[in-house]
Structure 1
Amino acid sequence: MDLGTDDVPISSILKSQLAILDHKTAAIWATACAEHVLPLFEAVYPQDMRPRTALEAGRAWAKGNMSMFEARKAAFASHDAARKAKEEGNLEASEAAKSCSHACSTAHVKDHALPAAAYAIKAAKDKETESKWQMEFLQKLNDPS
């Protein structure tokens, strides 16, 4: 099953940094990664709020303000938005919405944080800069001093 990481080089350093995060901090990181590319979706579908709602749900779960089941509903809706964008040939928008979906799905399973990052890299115009930003932000979360 392709969770977005099969064709994106994800460094072992990033994986090891992510592994030491607690579940809620992983969700915060995944949500930040997805938010970085959300404008690529919203530029094409400005009226479709499903990916943004998924990010808000992921954050609400991380703060303890939403159940995992409620967050999952928002994640599924964002995935539907991604599917629609793909069917219409808007691949960057689709990857951005998938990133939002996986970021929100991190509420269910921590391991969804990695596909959230991978789909953000796929969506990004400058993949190297996106990868670097993700790693720097993850390191900051691991060492807030």
Structure 2
Amino acid sequence: MSEDDRRFITLWAVTCAARALPLFEAEAPSDIRPREAVEAARAFALGGRRTVRLRTAAWGAYAAAREAADPAAAAAARAAGCAAGAPYLHPLATPHQLKHVLGPAVYQARAREFAEGDDPGVGDDEVRWALEQVPPQVRVVVGRMPAGRPGRTRLGALHRRLEAGLRG
């Protein structure tokens, strides 16, 4: 995986995570950790360097997710954490790395689903939206990776839909 690959993946991750960010901010308006994660990831995607700020921001967003009482807010914060972690994807093509590539879009879809009364139709619509946003380079990277191994949870179902759309 090249640095350019990571930048394209991160740009898509930022696009997805930013869509869910208002769900977190409505629940915890004074907690800026997920927004910092999205902004740090955006800076990398637009040509910045991988720095300790990215890792710190990712961990901060994950901590915000753990602290959130609202499941939509927690999933939105996880999307932000995943976006800030995208610049650190490993060059080894593994199902685990694929999970990291898809994480921001999957958590964004789940956040929007939770926000709409846990309606799976909303999540399916969000997966379609994420697929419309994906740069062609991300499809190439995903095509080089082995199939994912998502679980039987709703997150796993969203992962399968997203992966099938990227490979199809």
TM-score range, shorter chain: 0.7 to 0.9
Q: Is the 8 A contact 1:68 1:107 kept in 2?
A: no
Structure 2 partner of 1:130? 126
Q: 1:142 aligns with which of 133, 136, 147?
A: 136
**Distance in 1 between residues matched to 2:47 and 2:56, nearest whole Å:** 16
Structure 2 partner of 1:106? 86
Unaligned runs of 5+ in 2: 91-96, 114-121, 138-168
Could you tell me how far 1:62 is from its partner in structure 2? 1.7
Q: Is the 8 A contact 1:72 1:107 kept in 2?
A: no
Structure 2 partner of 1:62? 45
Could you tell me how far 1:93 is from its partner in structure 2? 0.3
Amino acid at match of 1:64: G
Could you tell me how far 1:61 is from its partner in structure 2? 1.4
Query: 1:14-47 CA distances to partner (integer Å, 9 max, x unpaired)?
Result: xxxxxxx811100000111111111110111111
Could you tell me how far 1:114 is from its partner in structure 2? 0.8
Structure 1 partner of 2:76? 96
Could you tell me how far 1:68 is from its partner in structure 2? 3.7
Q: Comparing 103-112 with 115-124, which one deviates more in the overlay? A: 103-112
Could you tell me how far 1:63 is from its partner in structure 2? 2.3
Structure 1 runs of 4+ with >3 Å offset: none
Q: Which structure exhibits the higher relative contact order, with contacts defined as CA atoms closer than 8 Å and separated by 6 or more residues?
A: 1
Amino acid at match of 2:128: K
Q: Comparing 113-122 with 57-66, which one deviates more in the overlay? A: 57-66
Give identity over the alignment, percent.
36
Q: Comparing 61-70 with 46-55, which one deviates more in the overlay? A: 61-70
The Cα RMSD (Å) is 1.7
**Distance in 1 between residues matched to 2:74 and 2:44, nearest whole Å:** 24
**Distance in 1 between residues matched to 2:101 and 2:58, nearest whole Å:** 13
Query: 1:104-145 CA distances to partner (integer Å, 9 max, x unpaired)?
Result: 10011164231111111111132122111100111xx218xx
Under a length normalisation based on structure 2, what TM-score does the superposition of the two structures give? Answer: 0.66
